[in-house]
Amino acid sequence: MSIPRTQYGRAGLTPAAPPVAVRPVVRPPIPPAPVRPAPVPPAAAVPVPAVVAEVPSVPAVVHPEVAPVAVVPAEVAPAPEVAAAAPAPEVAPAEVAPVEVAPAPAEVPPAPAPVAPAAEIPAAAVSAPAPVADVPSPLAGVSRQTLEETPARVLSFLRAVGTTPAIRALMASRGYEASDHQEGWDLLHSVSGYTPETPPQGVDVKVRDAIVTLDNEDEDLFRILGPALRRLHPLQAKYVLDGLGPAVGPAAVSSVKLLLKRLDSLETSPERIATRPQDHAALATLAKRGIDAKERARLSALVEIAESGEHDEPHLAGLGQLYAWYEDWSAVARSVVKRSDYQCRMGVAKGTKIEAAAEPPVANVG
């Protein structure tokens, strides 16, 4: 059975509470969102549809037939006749006058060379033989200092060969005989002034003293000059000391003479004008060491005195013969004598061979 409803609820139930008044909630209106316009693409980016205009069809035009036109040949007027060209007038040939050619002069025989009368030709020119230029001198390039050192080397050579039987036997295998040994002694005696038959000639005291003085002083001269130039003036040292050094006996005269000549070149030679300031500086250094212009003049005077007593022609001729003899047999000794002590005893060991010095070579010796 259904229960009748009342105003407040079901029947028999407590009455319902009075309704609560509900206030409406008033909210502020929400403004509409701004409408952003849609981006319009650039005109170039918008594809434009191509409009193809319709071309109306044109009906074909039919031309009416045209009657052929008759072609009338045109009359061509004949070309006017051209009168023939008049012939060129004949030119008379020019007369050529003959040229007279002078006859060639008769050949004149050359005049004979004048011959000097016999009386005008000196006797020496007739008797002297013509020089032979094709034969080189055996001493070409050999300096005076080298020749002066030869006697000492020859003495060691002859002494070793004469006192050592083993060396004498080795030399004999190459043709060294008693006559060759005697020839060496004769040449050595000749350049040494050994003449047992006659007493030696007198010696000029001034010449002897000058040679002895130069021989005694050249060692100290090079000992002072060399280190100073090498340390402070290396270029000048190379020029002054090239191939030079102290020597013994008459060779000291040649060594000092060449040294003084090179020092003079540092002072006034036109060939060294480019290095003149450095050359003068080197001379100033030597002047502080005692080798000034005054000392160089003194040494030059001694060299002049020492050379005044020399008779070069016979002496150099003998030295040249002795040098040639030694060069011949020392080469043989180096090839057959292999023991180093024998080579040292003979003076032919390695490093003892005579070599040309920087001094200018002797010309026409012999």
For residue range 31-61, list pLDDT tens digits in order.
776 667 666 656 555 455 554 455 555 555 4
Q: At what angle do helices 293-308 and 205-232 cross, to 10 degrees?
A: 140
Q: Which residues form the domain of 179?
A: 144-195+314-346
Q: Which residues contact 211 (CB under 8 A, 6 or more apart)?
A: 249, 250, 252, 253, 306
Of 179, 178, 203, 183, which is closest to residue 193 (Cα–Cα)? 203
Count of domains for the chain: 2
Q: What is the mean pLDDT of the chain?
A: 72
- Residues 121-137 as b/e (b if ≥16 CB within 10 A, e otherwise) read eeeeeeeeeeeeeeeee
| Statement to judge: residues 184 and 325 lie in one domain | yes
Residue 36 lies in a domain: no
Residue 161 lies in a domain: yes
| Statement to judge: residues 175 and 254 lie in one domain | no
Of 259, 272, 197, which is closest to residue 226 (Cα–Cα)? 259
Residues 143, 357: Cα–Cα separation, whole Å: 6
The whole-number pLDDT of residue 121 equals 46
Task: Assign 355 a pLDDT band (cuts: 50, 70, 90).
Answer: very low
Residues 365, 318: Cα–Cα separation, whole Å: 9
pLDDT tens for each residue of 105-120: 555 555 555 555 444 4
DSSP codes of every residue in 40-93? PPPTTTSPPPP--PPPPPPPPP-PPPPPPPPPPPPPPPPPPPPPPPPPPPPPPP
- By three-state DSSP, how is residue 147 classified? helix
Residues 59, 1: Cα–Cα separation, whole Å: 102
| Statement to judge: residues 248 and 324 lie in one domain | no
Tokens of 342: 């024998």
pLDDT tens for each residue of 221-265: 999 999 999 999 999 999 999 988 998 877 888 899 999 999 999
Residues 226, 218: Cα–Cα separation, whole Å: 12
pLDDT tens for each residue of 180-199: 999 998 888 888 777 666 55
Please give the DSSP secondary-structure letter assigned to residue 250.
Answer: H
The whole-number pLDDT of residue 114 equals 53
| Statement to judge: residues 286 and 218 lie in one domain | yes
The pLDDT of 69-74, averaged and rounded, is: 54
Percent of the chain with pLDDT over 90: 23
The whole-number pLDDT of residue 297 equals 95
Residues 113, 297: Cα–Cα separation, whole Å: 55
| Statement to judge: residues 261 and 218 lie in one domain | yes
pLDDT tens for each residue of 127-142: 444 444 444 555 667 7
Residues 241, 222: Cα–Cα separation, whole Å: 9
pTM for the full model?
A: 0.38
For the chain, the farthest-separated pair of C-alpha atoms sits apart, in whole angstroms, at 205
| Statement to judge: residues 304 and 210 lie in one domain | yes
Residues 279, 272: Cα–Cα separation, whole Å: 8
Residues 191, 319: Cα–Cα separation, whole Å: 6
Cβ atoms of 191 and 256 within 8 Å: the answer is no
Residue 258 lies in a domain: yes
| Statement to judge: residues 210 and 263 lie in one domain | yes
Tokens of 81: 């006749």
Residue 158 lies in a domain: yes
| Statement to judge: residues 324 and 304 lie in one domain | no
